[in-house]
Each structure stands twice: as C-alpha cells, then as structure tokens.
Structure 1
C-alpha cells in the first residue's frame, strides 16, 4: 500500500487540484481515496491508475457540489489557490502543462462540477470517453456531449468575472516591466502593457482582508486602479519578489518573510500584453506559497 501511495499520490493530487482549486481540499480528497483503497480487496483492480483517477474524481465531485452554496455567499470574488513550483511533487511532472496555469483554473470556474470533471479528465489527462464515462457515471455519448458543451462555454467571450479565452503565458520580461510601471505609478507605461479588454479580480478571503470586491474591467478602469496612490498603496510598501506559481512567473509580496499577497497574470493571444490580473490576499490561499530563487530583475 505504501508503494501505491508513493507512486500515485502526485497523480491523484494533480487531478484533485484541477478539480477543486484548493490545496487542502485536494489533499483531503487524495487521503480519503487512499484510506478507502487500503481497506478494500485490491486483487480485482486491473488498472490501478484508472481506479485512482475515478476514486479521486468522485470525491472531488461531491466536494464541488457542497462548495457551490458556500461560494455563492462568499463576500467578493472567489479565486483558486495558487501552488508553488513543484508543490505536487515530481510524480506529477507529466501533468504540468497548460491545464495547470492559473488562468486555466479560473476559467474552469465557469463549468458545473460534472462538466469540469469531464473536461479535466479529457483535456488535461487524455482519458478516452469510455474511461471517463466509467469515472463520472455517465454514458460515453453523454460524456462527448458534456465535453463539447464545456469547450463551448470556455471559448465564449469573456465576462466581467472570468478571463478571456486564448490566454498566453506571461514572460519574465513582461512581469518585470509591469512591476516597474506599477511601483512608479506610471500611467503611460501601464497603458502600454495592458491588453484591449483587461480584467482585474481580487480575492481577500471573503471577510478576511479588505480588498476590491468586484472585478475591474477595461483599460481605463484597470489602469486607474493600478496607478492610484490611494488604492492598494500598501502593496508598494511591501517587499516584492518574482517567483513561479502554477508553472508561470508571478509577483509575490511579503512582509518580514510572510507572504501577504500574490499577483498572477495572463497575457493576450500575442503574449505581448497583459489581459487578466488576479490578486490573491486571502491568508488561507497564501500560506503554502514557498519563496523560490527570484527571477532576474531585468
């Protein structure tokens, strides 16, 4: 059992994290699945990897259904919890692709729990529809329809809450340029960096931290917010470092070594402009961020 756990815990976590967007919940789903596996007869399991995927997926579906009502009463916007580079361990290296990016996780919030499960299993883990049908308790044809519907949903025009489809990865250079404009209150520099329809979303943890309650959209509004000397001025007073969150460069703010905020960005299709900005200030979603070596400052 210990060998199975060491072999598949990273894989199970990589599924659970994409399903739930919360590290502690993903860990609970994985632990619960392995606890059940330990007490059952495993001689009849022909494909242990598929069994692990099914077990953790079903637990995540239950957790997502119960979480939806809580998120509806959440004060402000709810954003997924970012993970530091390598948090899920070397076992999940094969699954570290675009489906781990922070913007992708935010996009998945558009989907229902079942749509999310089918889409993640198909898109991120390349399971065929027959296998997915057995995991989510639907017919194969139904799973095909669910996946097509989920894909259409994710390809629709952006709303005030979700990022635009077709995002690109933010480069280290783009992040450094953004930081320079942000810290200098540089309106012109910020306008040069923002895409055509930028969206800024902040998550303070419901009641935990006072921050922006509603998404800010549009170049004028986002620029005004980011260059205001009254709003978010405290971010400029904190030390900032460049780290890797969800496999991409991000800006991390600390006070005496304690992470107080993290800013994840996504680029537009060209990769040259910033399209979406996600400011995390919920202490519960920052506690697991480790501080890796900093990226180059220039």
Structure 2
C-alpha cells in the first residue's frame, strides 16, 4: 500500500525545497494516483506535469502535509479528466481497456510497479466504478487516507465518503477481486501456467486449453477500431475455447513471438514481430482453481506505444 506523507516532508518545503526537489521527491507518488485514476499513461503524465507547473507560482510554506495536498490536487484534476474521458469512450469502438505498464526501465513508473503495483486485472475492474467512487476508494483503500482527509480533499461529508467507498467495495467484491488479487499463486507458477497456455494456443491443443480455462472464463479484446478484434466480451469457457482454437481468429497472433514480461507488476505476455510490439495479453487467475478467469488482449496500436518505447530503453 502507498502510505500518506509524514509531516517531516512539509517541514522540508518550509525549509526551502524548490519545485525541482518537490518534483523529484513526489513525481512517482503523483503518477501512482493519476495512473490508477485514469488508466491512461499519457493522461496521467499530463495531470502530473500540470500540477507541478501550477505549484511553481504557489507559496507552499503554509502547507502542513505536502503529500496530502498533492493527493488532493492530483485526484481532483484526474476526476475532471476522467469525467470527460468517460463521455468520449461512449463512441469508442469495442471494449475499452486501460493502458498497461512494464517494469523494464528506469522511471517513476518502474518504481510504482515494483513497490505497490495493482494488477492489470484490478485496474480493469476499477472501470466499473463511477469517477467519484474510484477516487474515494483509491484514496481510502490504496493510499490509506482517513475519511476526514478524503472529505477535505473531495469536498464531501465524511458520511458521504463512507457510503461512496462502501458502494465501491460492493461493486468490486461482486467481481471477487482484491488489491492483492490471487496472492496464493506465485510468479513462478504463473510463468509455468502461461507457458503451458501459449504452447497449447500455438498448437491448437483444445484439451490443454480446456484444462487451463475456468468454467466462466471471459476474454476481452481492445483493438480500438484500428485492428481486428472482438467487439464484445467473449463469455464462458466454451466460447473462449472456440475463439482460441479458431484457425482464422488469431492467425497473426500465432505468428508473433510471445515473450513473458512483467506487466503491471505481474508476469504476462507481449507479442512481438521483428522487435515491434503488436499486442499484450494479460491474465486474471481464478482464486481457487489456479485456472484462467479472464484474458485481456490489447491490440490498439496507440495503447502500445508507451510499452514499445519502454521495452527498447
């Protein structure tokens, strides 16, 4: 979990910390909030840059808790962006999936991945929440702020914040997913299961895939209208299996090189063609059976640009 700032950080500002030092010390934290709120890397980076730019003209010597002040600013900016983005997504072609992060480069995003990553599946589930539910839930459950602080940050009463968080928890609990989603399945076992999956997928091995998929498996693809992909979620093991073993459905995907890579803090798959990133496949595992519960296939080329750059750094 990401911890709120201690008062000593505020004293650092009072002692003369300039905006560059503030940026160096808190950029990672600011990005972690914005990314979880938005699920879009470029939008999260813009929110962070805009907030720090605004701070250049502000006197922060009277601020007692710089990190909480930052959380308030970043969260509210993200709320505004998210509300606008939700309207734009109404005309998005097919299913909308968040942008993934990889860990193979030196940046604040890498630090975020290693220290307090939330799985890609969890990020997808956050899309079920309203913007305000998402803000309250993240501030409380991920960033560990108390309700008086959240109330002040969002301009809502404490009781209202509690109700909003309760609704958010119910929505997420209905999906049977937690922040530490599937803690019993370690990375080594995940690697072995994914290796089994890709081998069976490439060879059209129906029985092996049947063994790996949970009964109520769901596959969601995001091509954004730029690449061919399923417009609607594919539900049930039978339908997912039919799609995965179709000779036509994933003709190109089978020709691409499948590489196990850490995505959003967990081992997942990236697909490469002559070094160029063509797709990302993320997994969510059933909590009891160690089978694949959800598959998230990202093919929208505009959502792959960040990961493509990261893999080459």
Q: Could you state the TM-score of these two structures normalised by the residue count of structure 2?
A: 0.87
Deviation at 1:247, TM superposition (A): 0.5
Contact 2:102–2:110 under 8 Å retained in 1: no
2:186 aligned with 1:174, yes or no? Answer: no
2:207 aligned with 1:188, yes or no? Answer: yes
Instruction: Name the SS of the counterpart of 2:306 in structure 1.
Output: coil
Contact 1:261–1:281 under 8 Å retained in 2: yes
Contact 2:113–2:264 under 8 Å retained in 1: no
Q: Distance in 1 between matches of 2:171 and 2:269?
A: 29
Q: 2:89 aligns with which of 71, 81, 97?
A: 71
Q: 1:16 aligns with which of 17, 34, 46?
A: 34
Q: Distance in 1 between matches of 2:113 and 2:271?
A: 27
Unaligned runs of 5+ in 1: 159-163, 293-298
Q: 2:298 aligns with which of 272, 280, 292?
A: 280
Aligned residues: 284
Q: Distance in 1 between matches of 2:89 and 2:113?
A: 31
Q: Distance in 2 between matches of 1:78 and 1:92?
A: 23
Match runs of 1:207-226 below 5 Å: 207-226=225-244
Contact 2:32–2:112 under 8 Å retained in 1: yes
Contact 1:10–1:90 under 8 Å retained in 2: no
In the alignment, which residue of structure 1 is the partner of 2:16? Answer: none
Deviation at 1:233, TM superposition (A): 1.2
Contact 2:269–2:282 under 8 Å retained in 1: yes
Deviates more, 1:281-290 or 1:4-13: 281-290
Deviation at 1:46, TM superposition (A): 1.0
Q: Distance in 1 between matches of 2:113 and 2:146?
A: 21
Match runs of 1:1-298 below 5 Å: 1-85=19-103, 88-89=108-109, 92=112, 96-97=116-117, 100-156=118-174, 158=175, 165=177, 167-168=181-182, 171-205=190-224, 207-270=225-288, 272-289=290-307, 290-291=310-311
Q: Distance in 2 between matches of 1:29 and 1:43?
A: 23
Deviations 1:75-120 (A, max 9, x none): 10000000001653465468514xx210111100111000000011
Deviation at 1:239, TM superposition (A): 1.2
Q: 1:94 to 1:256 in 2, by over 3 A?
A: closer
Q: Distance in 1 between matches of 2:112 and 2:62?
A: 26
Q: 1:93 to 1:77 in 2, by over 3 A?
A: closer
Instruction: Name the SS of the counterpart of 1:66 in structure 2.
Output: helix
Deviations 1:41-85 (A, max 9, x none): 111111110011111000000001111111111110000000001
Deviations 1:201-256 (A, max 9, x none): 00002x21121111100010000101111101110011111100000111110111
In the alignment, which residue of structure 2 is the partner of 1:161? Answer: none
Instruction: Name the SS of the counterpart of 1:149 in structure 2.
Output: helix
Q: Distance in 1 between matches of 2:114 and 2:273?
A: 35
Q: Distance in 2 between matches of 1:93 and 1:128?
A: 24
Contact 1:204–1:282 under 8 Å retained in 2: yes
In the alignment, which residue of structure 1 is the partner of 2:12? Answer: none
Q: Could you state the TM-score of these two structures normalised by the residue count of structure 1?
A: 0.91
Instruction: Tell me which protein shows more helix as a share of its residues.
Output: 2
Q: Distance in 1 between matches of 2:125 and 2:77?
A: 21
Q: Distance in 2 between matches of 1:27 and 1:117?
A: 17
Q: Distance in 2 between matches of 1:51 and 1:203?
A: 36
